[in-house]
A and B are shown apart, each in its own frame.
Chain A
Amino acid sequence: AQSVTQLGSHVSVSEGALVLLRCNYSSSVPPYLFWYVQYPNQGLQLLLKYTTGATLVKGINGFEAEFKKSETSFHLTKPSAHMSDAAEYFCAVTSTGNQFYFGTGTSLTVIP
């Protein structure tokens, strides 16, 4: 079975500060890991994904995440927060592509 835990349902950062959104997963098979962003009343937009290869993955809008197998983590970071980053972020894991397991989401607030 697979599952995803996102620590912190709400995260607030100042504009220009580091963004760190945590994601831990459980999987008995090699996982594929994803981060999605959702703006109000919109669908999910893929930020980045890890499938195989390099464990540090760079995505859109300056975000990146590092797959750490030993820690079963896939935390999302951005060096400098922008007001437009305020949104809901979801981490997801799958091994087949058919069954996605989503975390409960983290709401990011950026304080001017």
Chain B
Amino acid sequence: GAVVSQHPSRVICKSGTSVKIECRSLDFQATTMFWYRQFPKQSLMLMATSNEGSKATYEQGVEKDKFLINHASLTLSTLTVTSAHPEDSSFYICSASGAVQDNEQFFGPGTRLTVL
């Protein structure tokens, strides 16, 4: 149980376009979802926390107009990178937690974004 999926696993786009990444909890209701960014050989950096039906809470330094997060249901959150630029290229990982998950987050497999 407690499986989280992400789609797509890899995406390549041109500079200036927008990219949407989906994060789904497959077998539990995710009251909270998290979006992380990971640069090569570095740790995970929390970008934002979203609760179902509420606006996301962004970490300091993360542009909310650049990284749009929607958590419209208990099983789906989306991250849209708007007007992507090469510096947005990174590995994006989502995680999810639910009311019965005992303070644990379950991580998706990640999405590799490359902006040309």
In the complex, identify which listed stretch (A17-25, A55-63, A90-98) lies at the interface while the others stay far away. A90-98
Interface positions of A from 65 to 112, Cβ below 8 Å from B: 90, 94-100, 102-105, 107
* Total inter-chain residue pairs, C-beta < 8 Å: 55
Q: How far is the CA of A49 from the CA of B105 in the complex (A)?
A: 11
> Is the pair B109, A42 in contact by a Cβ cutoff of 8 Å?
yes
> Is the pair B104, A97 in contact by a Cβ cutoff of 8 Å?
yes
Give the number of chain B interface residues (Cβ < 8 Å): 25
CB distance from A32 to the nearest CB of B (A): 5
CB distance from A83 to the nearest CB of B (A): 21
Name A41's contact: one of B95, B104, B112 (CB within 8 Å): B112
Q: How far is the CA of A110 from the CA of B11 in the complex (A)?
A: 31
In the complex, identify which listed stretch (B13-21, B38-46, B62-70, B77-85) lies at the interface while the others stay far away. B38-46
Q: How far is the CA of A107 from the CA of B91 in the complex (A)?
A: 17
Verify if A7 is at the interface (C-beta below 8 Å from B): no
Interface SS of chain A: helix, strand, loop or mixed?
A: loop
Name A34's contact: one of B41, B44, B104 (CB within 8 Å): B104
Interface positions of B from 92 to 107, Cβ below 8 Å from A: 93, 95, 97, 101-107
> Is the pair B43, A43 in contact by a Cβ cutoff of 8 Å?
no
Interface SS of chain B: helix, strand, loop or mixed?
A: strand
> Is the pair A98, B109 in contact by a Cβ cutoff of 8 Å?
no
Give the number of chain A interface residues (Cβ < 8 Å): 24
Q: How far is the CA of A36 from the CA of B42 in the complex (A)?
A: 14
> Is the pair A90, B43 in contact by a Cβ cutoff of 8 Å?
yes
A34-46 CB contact bits vs B (8 Å, 1 = yes)? 1010000111111
* Residues of chain A within 8 A of B32, CB atoms compared: 98
9 residue pairs A–B, Cβ–Cβ below 8 Å: A36-B107, A42-B109, A43-B93, A97-B104, A98-B49, A103-B43, A104-B42, A104-B43, A105-B43
**Which residue numbers of A lie inside 8 Å of B, CB to CB?**
32, 34, 36, 41-46, 49, 51, 90, 94-100, 102-105, 107
- A-B contacts besides A46-B106, A97-B97, A97-B101, 5 pairs, CB < 8 Å: A41-B110, A43-B109, A44-B95, A44-B107, A100-B105
